[in-house]
Amino acid sequence: MARRDFTEVDLRRMLQHAERVRRDHVAGRFVVEAHHKRRPWAVIVEPDLERTCILVITAYPVKVE
């Protein structure tokens, strides 16, 4: 997380204030569209049904063209 300039608290805030959730191209994963420091970000998550939680796979800033 430190390499991408966000903390666990930032990540939780991004997930809490998500703008949109859509299916990822990888089966069973989802893309959470959010903002961090006024920039769009994508957070890739995967539900863990056994533990009833979600796993965060990665998060990255989205380039706006």
Q: Is the pLDDT of residue 2 over 80?
A: no
Buried b (16+ CB within 10 A) or exposed e, 38-57: eeebbbbbeeeeeeeeeebe
Which structure tokens are listed for 41? Answer: 């970000």
Tokens 């608290």, residue located: 9
Which structure tokens are listed for 26? Answer: 């990888």
Query: pLDDT category, 65, cuts 50, 70, 90?
Result: confident
Number of domains in the chain: 1
Specify the pLDDT at position 6: 87
Q: Mean pLDDT over residues 12-24, rounded? A: 96
Tokens 């300039």, residue located: 5
What range defines the domain where residue 18 resides? 2-61
How is the beta sheet containing 20-23 ordered, strand by strand?
A: 20-23, 30-36, 39-48, 53-61
